[in-house]
Structure 1
C-alpha cells in the first residue's frame, strides 16, 4: 500500500510541475516544438512498456479512426492549448486553470451521456468551479488586468476539449474493452505522426541553450510528465479504481501554484480562494455523481 500512496503523490507532483517546465521551454522555442518534443519523449516509455507487455497487435488497426480522433483532440490540440496558455500566463495560474479539467469532464458527461443524472449537489459544484475560474481570471479589471485573457481562453479550450474526449472514450472506446495502455500508446504514436509535418523545426535547437529548460522539457515534461504519468495513472486505476485515482488531480493546481510562488510569481488571496473553490466544486461534482449512481442502480432492479 505504501507503493500505491507513493505513486498517488508522485502523480500529483509530476502533473503539477508540468507548467513550470512549459514556461521555461516557451521562452526558447515555439509551442508547436514543445508539443512535438513532449509527445516524442512521452511516447518512448509508453511504446516500450506496451510492446514489452504485448498489448499492441494488428487487430487494433480497425479502431484507427477512433485512435486518430483522440490523437488530434486529446493529445495534439490539448497539449498545444495548454502550452499557449502557459506561455501567456504565470505558471501557477495556468496550473490552477488546468485543474478545471475534472470540472469540464463532469459537465460534458452530464450533457452527452444519458447514464449521468444531475442533482443539486452537482449544480452547486459547477457554480463553485466557475466562480473559482472567474476569481483567478479577474475579468472585472478590464484593460488593467494582469491576467492575459487570451491565455485563459487557451487553457479553458484545452480543458473543455479534454473533458469532451473522456465522453468520446466512454461512448466509442470503452465498449471495445481495450487495455488503456494500448489506447494511449496508439494515441501518442498517431499524434506524433500528425505533429511531425505540421511543426517548423527552425530554431528548435535553442532549447539546448538552457540546461534547465532542456532537462525540464525532455525529462520533466516528456518522460515523466507524459509517459511515466500515464503509467502511474494506470497503475493507480488497478489499485484504487477510477474515482480514487482521479483524486491526484487535486494535488496538481496546489503544486503548480506553490512552484510558481517559489519561482517569484505573485500569489495572493484571490489565487488561493480560486484554488479552494475549484477543488471544492470538483469534489462536490464527484460526490454528487456517486449519489446519483446509487439512486439509479436500485431503480434498474426488477
Structure 2
C-alpha cells in the first residue's frame, strides 16, 4: 500500500474501533432507541447532501425491497441490540465478540450456497473461532448478562448477512446511496419510540459529544473513508480492518473506561482472530478475484 492507503487504513482502524466506547458513554443518559435515532439522523444529515449531489438516490428505487432487508439486518436491528447489550457488558467485550463477524460470514456463505467450499482449513477456523468466543464468554463475562451476549450474537449474524445481500442482491447499486437510505429508514422506524424515550433533562456534554461522534465520524465520515480505502487498496485489503477494530475497542475500553483486561481476554481475542483468518482464507487466486468483485459495492465489514 502507498502512504495514502496506509493513512486511510489507520483512520478506519481507529474510527470503527471507537463506537463501542462512545455507545457505552451515550447510554448513560439515553435509551438504546433514542441513541439509534440520534445517531442515524446525524449521519443522514451529513450523507444526504453528498448522495443527492452524486445522483445516487434514483438507482435505488428498483431495489427498495432488498434495501429494506439490508437496513434491517445491517443497521436497524444490530445498532439497537448492540446499544442495549452495552448496558450490561463492557464495551471491550462487545468489540471483541464482534470480531467473530468474518467467520460467521464464512459459515453463512457455506450454508447459503456461496462459492467457497468447506475444507479442513476453513473448518478448523470455524472451530477455533467458536472456541475463542466460548473463552471470552466463559471466563470474561464474570456473571454478566448472558442475554447481552445473545444480542451480540444476533448482531454478528446481521453484520455478516449485510455484505452478502449487497454482493448478491444489490450488486452495482451505489453503496453510499444504500447507506444513506438505510440511515433514513432506520431513523424513521425508531422515531416514535426514540422521541418518547428522550430524557427530560439535558444530556451531559460527554453524551452529546458521544452522539455527535457516532453520527458524524463513526457513521458518515467512516463510510466515505471506507469507500476511499476500497478505491485505493482494493476490497480484499480494505476488509482487513475487521481485525483491527476490536483491538482498538479493547484498548479504549481498558484505557478510558477502566475495563479490566485478563489473560482470558487476550486468549479469546487471539483465537477469534485466528479463526476468522482461517475461515475466510481463499484457496485460489481466482476465488480471491471473484470475492473482490463481489465486495466492491459492499459498504460494510461489520459497522458497530
Mark yes or no: TM-score above 0.5: yes
Note if 1:238 corresponds to 2:231: yes
Pairing 1:148-167 to 2, within 5 Å after superposition: 148-167=145-164
Structure having the higher helix fraction is 1
Structure 1: where are the runs of 5+ without partners?
298-302
- The equivalent of 1:227 in structure 2 is 220
Alpha-carbon distance, 1:191 to partner: 1.7
Note if 1:183 corresponds to 2:164: no
1:39–1:192 contact (8 Å) kept in structure 2: yes
Alpha-carbon distance, 1:98 to partner: 1.6
Q: Are residues 124 and 204 of structure 1, via their aligned partners in 2, closer, same or farther at CA, if it must alter by over 3 Å?
A: same
1:118–1:292 contact (8 Å) kept in structure 2: no
- The equivalent of 1:300 in structure 2 is none
- The equivalent of 2:23 in structure 1 is 22
CA RMSD of aligned residues (A): 2.3
Structure 2: where are the runs of 5+ without partners?
292-304
Structure 1 segments, 4+ long, off by >6 Å, are 294-297
Q: In the aligned structure 1, how far is the partner of 2:85 from the partner of 2:97?
A: 9
Alpha-carbon distance, 1:294 to partner: 6.6
Q: In the aligned structure 2, how far is the partner of 1:112 from the partner of 1:162?
A: 16
Alpha-carbon distance, 1:295 to partner: 12
With the length of structure 2 as denominator, give the TM-score of the two structures. 0.88
2:92–2:252 contact (8 Å) kept in structure 1: yes
Q: In the aligned structure 1, how far is the partner of 2:199 from the partner of 2:72?
A: 22
Aligned length: 289
Q: In the aligned structure 1, how far is the partner of 2:107 from the partner of 2:12?
A: 24
2:35–2:194 contact (8 Å) kept in structure 1: no
With the length of structure 1 as denominator, give the TM-score of the two structures. 0.88
Alpha-carbon distance, 1:296 to partner: 9.9
Pairing 1:44-55 to 2, within 5 Å after superposition: 44-55=45-56
